[in-house]
């Protein structure tokens, strides 16, 4: 039996939603962050192959990396429509968004989060310097890259309701954490109606609601500013 080791407020929410969409049988083990450092607890970091969330265990296998877990779980569900097969009409669209989620998108968001944390924790006298330097990085790199990604998302969701195409796909699941993190920072309101529609569709799904219930937190994402 597969066990999902789910860290609260972390990227492992993706796997929780995936398993609910598949109606899979699994054990769920939920871990709380350290109340002071907000990091994963020591036993989580020791057991996870890279010390990161998510990870699963399945017999002797212990596997990390969200997308590796998604592909591995889907291997066990060959009839699922979540992963368009080679040659399918939505295949390239699936591949692009599935791989963009933890790569192009998460890389930029992670850097943005670390900068926010550095700025918050910097000694008082140094904050204006950090703010100035980081605002340069945000203007030159982070904001234009996020805009390219969200503009393309808006276009693609104008053509079909899901990142996966006509059906919900593994790419929607891979993107959920990043898109909620961006929405928490007001990235879409009023300017990205197709992306806003996507959130509505996601939140109407029974499996997504069950995942939120099992997670039991008021928010999916972690806030670096806390």
187 binds its own copies (CB under 8 A): no
Sign of the Cα torsion 100, 182, 106, 12 reads negative
Whether the Cβ atoms of residue 94 and residue 170 lie closer than 8 Å to each other? yes
Q: Is 138 a binder of its own copies (CB under 8 A)?
A: no
List the one residue from 30, 65, 194, 223 that touches its own copies (CB under 8 A). 65
Distance linking the first and last C-alpha atoms of the chain: 36
- If one asks whether residue 75 binds its own copies (CB under 8 A), the answer comes out as yes
CA distances from 144 to 101, 137, 149, 184, 189 (A): 17, 10, 9, 19, 18
Which residues, 6+ apart, have CB-to-CB distance to 103 below 8 Å?
A: none
104, 145 contact by CB (below 8 A): yes
Q: Which is nearer to its own copies, 190 or 225 (CB)?
A: 225
Among 29, 139, 152, 217, binds its own copies (CB under 8 A): 152
d(CA 226, CA 210): 27
Is residue 161 part of the contact set for its own copies (CB under 8 A)?
Answer: no
Work out whether 144 is an interface residue with its own copies (CB under 8 A): yes
Report in angstroms how near the CB of residue 153 gets to its own copies at its nearest: 11
Sequence-distant (≥ 6) Cβ neighbours of residue 133 within 8 angstroms? none
Q: How far apart are CA 214 and CA 108, in angstroms?
A: 29
Element housing 7 (H / E):
strand 3-7
Confirm or reject binding of residue 91 to its own copies (CB under 8 A): yes
Identify which range of 2-10, 103-111, 158-166, 186-194 contacts its own copies by CB under 8 A: 103-111
Nearer to its own copies, 145 or 205 (CB): 145
Name the segment binding its own copies (CB under 8 A); options: 66-74, 176-184, 209-217, 218-226: 66-74
| 107 binds its own copies per the rule CB under 8 A | yes
- Residues of the shown chain interacting with its own copies in the complex, contacts defined by CB under 8 A: 49-52, 61, 63-68, 71-72, 75, 78, 86-87, 91-92, 95-96, 98-100, 102-104, 106-107, 110-111, 114, 118, 122, 126, 129-130, 133, 137, 141, 144-145, 148-149, 152
């Amino acid at each position: 039996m597969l066990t999902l080791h789910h860290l609260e407020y972390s990227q492992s929410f993706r796997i929780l939603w995936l398993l609910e969409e598949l109606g899979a049988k699994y054990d769920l083990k939920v871990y709380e962050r350290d109340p002071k450092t907000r990091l994963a607890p020591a036993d989580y970091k020791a057991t996870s192959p890279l010390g990161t969330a998510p990870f699963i265990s399945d017999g002797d296998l212990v596997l990390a990396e969200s997308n590796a877990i998604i592909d591995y779980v889907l291997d066990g569900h060959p009839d699922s429509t979540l992963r368009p097969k080679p040659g399918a009409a939505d295949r390239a669209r699936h591949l692009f968004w599935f791989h963009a989620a933890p790569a192009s998108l998460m890389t930029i968001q992670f850097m943005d989060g670390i900068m926010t944390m550095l700025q918050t924790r910097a000694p008082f006298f140094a904050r204006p310097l950090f703010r100035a330097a980081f605002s340069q990085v945000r203007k030159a790199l982070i904001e234009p890259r996020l805009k390219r990604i969200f503009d393309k998302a808006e276009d693609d969701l104008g053509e079909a309701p899901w990142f996966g195409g006509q059906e919900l796909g593994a790419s929607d699941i891979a993107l959920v954490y990043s898109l909620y993190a961006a929405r928490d920072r007001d990235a879409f309101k009023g300017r990205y109606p197709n992306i806003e529609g996507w959130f509505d569709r996601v939140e109407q799904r029974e499996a997504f609601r069950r995942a939120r219930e099992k997670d039991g937190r008021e928010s999916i994402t972690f806030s670096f500013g806390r």
